[in-house]
Amino acid sequence: DTAVSQTPKYLVTQMGNDKSIKCEQNLGHDTMYWYKQDSKKFLKIMFSYNNKELIINETVPNRFSPKSPDKAHLNLHINSLELGDSAVYFCASSQYLKETQYFGPGTRLLVL
């Protein structure tokens, strides 16, 4: 069983489109995250949710809107996609007060 899963794995789209990436974890964790990995492999946190509540919101354009319908799911919706949004987006999860985060396989987004 996959612990942290993401869909889709690959996403190719045109500038200006709106797209969503989904994440699900079956580890029973209550905290989930989105990280962005740029073309130079640099990883940076974007958002974190704990039990459906926004905990961390880094300086991310408001075109990015995370949504957590329940503690096992964290989705990322991106409006008006730009070329610079091309990256790999990783979802991760952990248990509150536990430091270890477990990552999904990533979603490779290419904006043309």
Partner 1 sequence: AQSVTQLGSHVSVSEGALVLLRCNYSSSVPPYLFWYVQYPNQGLQLLLKYTTGATLVKGINGFEAEFKKSETSFHLTKPSAHMSDAAEYFCAVSDQVSGGYNKLIFGAGTRLAVHP
Per CB under 8 A, the list member of 12, 15, 27, 56 interacting with partner 1 is: 56
Residue 48 engages partner 1 in binding (rule: CB under 8 A): yes
The residues pairing with 31 across neighbouring beta strands, listed in sequence order, are 50, 94
DSSP string, 55-69: EEE-S--TTEEEEEE
Q: How many CB atoms lie within 10 A of CB 18?
A: 11
Residue 96 engages partner 1 in binding (rule: CB under 8 A): yes
Residue 89 engages partner 1 in binding (rule: CB under 8 A): no
Q: How many CB atoms lie within 10 A of CB 54?
A: 12
CB closer to partner 1, 15 vs 43: 43
Per CB under 8 A, the list member of 50, 65, 86, 95 interacting with partner 1 is: 50
Q: State the Cα angle at 13 between 38 and 110, rounded to 5°.
A: 20
CB of 80 to partner 1, least distance (A): 26
| Contact status, residue 81 vs residue 19, Cβ threshold 8 Å | yes
Residue 86 engages partner 1 in binding (rule: CB under 8 A): no
Residue ranges that bind partner 1, judged by CB under 8 A: 4, 31, 33, 35, 40-45, 48, 50, 55-56, 90, 92, 96-97, 99-106, 108
